[in-house]
Amino acid sequence: MPNTAAIWWEAARPKTLWAAVSPVLIGIALAVYFGVFHALSASLALLGAILIQVGTNFFNDLADFKKGADTHARTGPRRMVQAGLVSEQAMRVATYATFLLAVLSGVYLMLRGGVPIVFIGFSSILFGIAYTGGKYSLAYLGIADVFVLVFFGPIAVAGTFYVQALAWPEIIWFVGLAPGLLAVAILLVNNIRDRDQDALADKRTLVVRLGRSFAEWLYLACSMAAILIALAAWMFYDAPALILISLGAFPLMIQSWLRLRSIPDHESVKMNPILGQTARNLLVYSILLSLGWMLGAA
């Protein structure tokens, strides 16, 4: 049995945290490029994003167990409540405590940014709960992908930029689509792997509704769109040419897509490494894009 710290670290799903960190990094880099970087606001935005993601993961662990989506037949990484390592009550308390810490970390940002940041902060928490919570949760209705795109993309990037600059030019929203698209790719791998179990639990994800082949091609489309966004930002928004170093992440994306397509349904457990690779692709792309923006400011 792992120790308590290891259990909670695993429950936090550290590999998924890059989806929360990446758009914040891009928002910070854009602030550096436009000369409005604000260290305290940037740091608190990063902390808040991580806490909201961890709280969402805790709540998902509990909600999927209670709804029957996580069972002994699960092929993905283990879930703490289903595995009997954390009680339902303990996970519920951890969820509330983590979201409370997220709110506390955002007090300064809400005072600085006003109503827009209050809305972004609380709607992000509500999305984290609505993702798997309630009778009509987003994941079970099959519309979570849209919210992942929005909240892990433009909302996160623009929100991070806004708390520093107190403004959000059009390019911020456009560039913000890129990390959101790659976060959707992470979700697609997860849902392709869990398709059969999700169907049994009446969790009507996009993959359950439209099939694996559609999801695989959508994965590729999300990857290609992220690359095209960098190109378009350079061509049409006068972004620095250095952001094109983010194109270096594309071979990794193609490699992950090909590996995903090569795994048969009955060996879905082999998709777990691809889940990590897709999160890595998002991080690599975001770091390269951020470096391009910051170096372009020099």
The CATH architecture one would assign to domain 4-296 is: Orthogonal Bundle (1.10)
Per-position pLDDT tens, the chain of length 298 = 456 889 999 999 998 899 999 999 999 999 999 999 999 999 999 999 999 999 999 999 998 888 766 666 666 678 889 888 999 999 999 999 999 999 999 999 999 999 999 999 999 999 989 888 777 788 888 898 999 999 999 999 999 999 999 999 999 999 999 999 999 999 999 999 989 888 888 888 999 999 999 999 999 999 999 999 999 999 999 999 999 999 999 999 999 999 999 999 888 888 989 999 999 999 999 999 999 999 998 7
Q: Is 35 exposed, middle or buried, given 0-12, 13-18 or 19+ CB atoms closer than 10 A? A: exposed
Question: How many Å apart are CA 24 and CA 22, to the nearest integer?
Answer: 5
Contact 194, 75 (CB under 8 A): yes
Domain-wise residue ranges, the chain: 4-296
| CA-based nearest residue to 245, from 198, 286, 191 | 286
